[in-house]
């Protein structure tokens, strides 16, 4: 806004002053509305940028040449390994120079080049779909203060689960073995699941919610295999709360 002094030194009247203030307030409101729209557009731009990056990565993945999944069986020399491919055959292959050969232990899943069968990179441990779906359970933002009537149980649970993860040296100084789990028992609706979610939320740990009916299988050995994979997944994604 521009204010000019009148040549005859006349004072600005109250009417002119009120008009100027109204105009200023109007422009100020318009400015705030534009700022709000700009902020919303920037947030939308960030979301669209993430979608664009994901689409670009998916497109590159579709255009890239596939690789063979294999498993290291044995190391023959410093640069040669026996690898079993998923389609059955076994090969004596080499590996890229950039790879750390000490990590290529028997049982390690690797990706092989389609033409040269060279080990290109490591692959994570194969996870059962049931175990992978367990890891998608979100504990939520639950605090201990939001749980009422269980102060004694919260204290014991924090001593058994939270303290060994946050301060493991305490148990070494005392000379005792840190506990690895606890048993929550009681009728439905007494807060067992809520306590487990609160611990996982406060520790910012991975959370595996296991439904007992999901690990009971009619085939012999399947339940034991699923439990082994569940604990192997938890070891690879420490810290992890299994409930």
- pLDDT (tens digit per residue) in 203-229: 777 778 777 776 776 577 777 888 888
Residue 55 lies in a domain: no
Q: What is the pLDDT of residue 218?
A: 58
Q: Given a cut of 80, is residue 65 above it in pLDDT? A: no
Q: Quick one: which of 120, 6, 132 has its CA closest to 68?
A: 120
DSSP code of residue 72? E
Statement: the pTM of the whole predicted model exceeds 0.85 = no
Q: Given a cut of 70, is residue 3 above it in pLDDT? A: no
Tell me the C-alpha distance between 242 and 168, whole Å.
19
Q: What is the pLDDT of residues 46-61, one digit of tens each?
A: 999 999 999 998 888 7
Question: Residue 73: which CATH number?
Answer: 2.40.50.140
Mean pLDDT computed over every residue of the chain: 80
Tell me the C-alpha distance between 48 and 60, whole Å.
18
Task: Return the number of other C-beta atoms located less than 10 Å from residue 101's C-beta.
Answer: 14
Q: What is the pLDDT of residue 9?
A: 43
Shared-domain flag, residues 136 and 94: no
Query: How far is Cα of residue 168 from the mean position of the Cα atoms in its chain?
Result: 24
Domain boundary among 76, 91, 122: 122
Shared-domain flag, residues 146 and 238: yes
Residue 44 lies in a domain: no
Domain that holds residue 144: 129-242
H or E element, residue 120: strand 119-122
What phi, psi does 160 have (nearest 5°)? -85, -40
Q: Supply 242's token pair.
A: 């299994």
Shared-domain flag, residues 235 and 172: yes
Shared-domain flag, residues 199 and 117: no
């Amino acid at each position: 806004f521009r204010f000019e002094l009148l040549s005859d030194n006349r004072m600005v009247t109250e009417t002119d002053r009120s008009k100027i203030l109204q105009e200023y307030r109007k422009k100020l409101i318009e400015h705030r509305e534009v700022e709000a729209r700009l902020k919303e557009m920037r947030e939308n731009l960030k979301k669209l940028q993430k979608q664009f990056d994901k689409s670009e990565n998916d497109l590159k993945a579709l255009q890239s040449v596939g690789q063979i999944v294999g498993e290291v069986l044995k190391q023959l020399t410093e640069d040669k390994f026996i690898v079993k491919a998923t389609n059955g055959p076994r090969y004596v292959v080499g590996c890229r120079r950039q790879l750390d050969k000490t990590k290529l232990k028997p049982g390690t899943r690797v990706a092989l080049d389609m033409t040269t069968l060279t080990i290109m990179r490591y692959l994570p441990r194969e996870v059962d779909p049931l175990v992978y779906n367990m890891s998608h359970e979100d504990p939520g933002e639950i605090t201990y203060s939001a749980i009422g009537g269980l102060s004694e149980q919260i204290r014991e649970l924090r001593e058994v689960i939270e303290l060994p993860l946050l301060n493991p040296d305490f148990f070494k100084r005392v000379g005792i073995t840190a506990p690895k789990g606890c048993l929550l028992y009681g009728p439905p609706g007494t807060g067992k699941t809520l306590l487990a979610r609160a611990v996982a939320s406060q520790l910012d740990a991975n959370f595996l919610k296991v439904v007992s009916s999901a690990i009971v299988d009619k085939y012999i050995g399947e339940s034991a295999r699923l439990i082994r994979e569940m604990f192997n997944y938890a070891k690879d994604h420490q810290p992890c709360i299994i409930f």
